[in-house]
Amino acid sequence: MADDELKKNVTKTGTATIGLVCKDGLIMAADKRISLGDTHIISHKKADKVFKLIDNIVVTIAGNASDAQYVLKLARAELKLKEIRTKMQPTVKEAASLFASILYGHIRQFSTIIAMSHFLVGGKDNTGFKLFEATPDGCIFEHKNYVTSGAFGSMFIWTLLKEEWREDMTIAEGKELVIKVLKSAIEFDSSVGDPLNIVIIDKNGAGEIEEYAIPSEDTKQKSKK
């Protein structure tokens, strides 16, 4: 298969995902749009990119959709086995390290299609609230403030986060900021689109994954009348 034809037949997430640290928890979020190859043709508008690994750990996905889904399934199974064997919940760092190890192995295996996926892993364990990034080449990084992954739209996310994130930000304030920056990404990048998935991780663990639809300008105008 020629390179151009291959690109057209690979479904991947255009994606803007975010993990945000607040003084009283974490927020993990992502858009739900999937594009086809590098064409920005939309292949799915309701794809889930935010998942609970276990009760206290959440992960977001970006990259080639098939690779991301496969790595997610594999990591879930490994973490469940570890929990059964040790009778202890894995820590956030252990979960992130597992994702990084899987990615490291996959990208070094020969394939006509390069495995390419990117994960943000956030949660609460006995060491507190933790946020990690597992990159496509198998690296792992801890973030004390925020981190994003995804397409061109993430550039705008970084700019806004740098200007508006505060160390003393509450979860409520953080959620408002997450919605604001993802809306900015949507406005500038056609491969990123609403609705959004947002999940809050607080002292009780990870809450339910919420779907949030960004109000259109028409809706805003009607609400003002």
pLDDT band at 40 (very low <50, low <70, confident <90, very high): low
pLDDT band at 218 (very low <50, low <70, confident <90, very high): very low
Q: Which of 13, 15, 17, 60 is catalytic?
A: 15
What is the C-alpha to C-alpha distance for residues 29 and 40, in angstroms, rounded to an integer? 21
Beta-carbon count within 10 A of 41 CB = 12
Tell me whether residue 15 is one of the annotated catalytic residues: yes
- Tokens 């809306």 belong to 183
Residues of the chain above pLDDT 70, percent: 76
Structure tokens at 36: 């086809």
Residue-level pLDDT at 1: 34
pTM here? 0.83
Distances (CA, A) of 117 to 25, 67, 76, 138, 150: 26, 6, 16, 10, 10
Say if residue 11's pLDDT is above 60.
no
Spatial distance between the Cα atoms of 120 and 143, rounded to a whole number of angstroms: 10
Residue 212 has pLDDT above 70, yes or no: yes
Banded model confidence at residue 8, pLDDT cuts 50, 70, 90: very low
Cα(148)–Cα(146) distance, integer angstroms: 7
Domains and CATH numbers, the chain: 3-224 (3.60.20.10)
What is the per-residue DSSP string for 22-66?
Answer: ETTEEEEEEE--EEETTTTEEEESS---EEEEETTEEEEEEEEHH
Nearest to 62 by CA among 144, 132, 151: 151
Residue with tokens 């609230």: 129
Over residues 108-132, the pLDDT tens digits come to: 766 655 667 899 999 999 999 999 9
Q: Which stretch of DSSP H or E encloses residue 221?
A: helix 217-224
Long-range CB pairs of 46-51 (<8 Å, 24+ gap) are 46/195, 47/13, 48/197, 48/209, 49/13, 49/15, 49/17, 49/197, 50/17, 50/197, 50/198, 50/199, 50/209, 51/209
Determine the 3-state secondary structure of 3 from DSSP. Answer: helix
Q: What's the pLDDT at 201?
A: 97
Supply 37's token pair.
């190859």
User: Between residues 55 and 129, which one has the greater pLDDT?
Assistant: 129
Asked whether residue 80 carries a pLDDT value surpassing 80, the answer given is yes
Asked if 96 and 184 touch (Cβ cutoff 8 Å), the reply is no
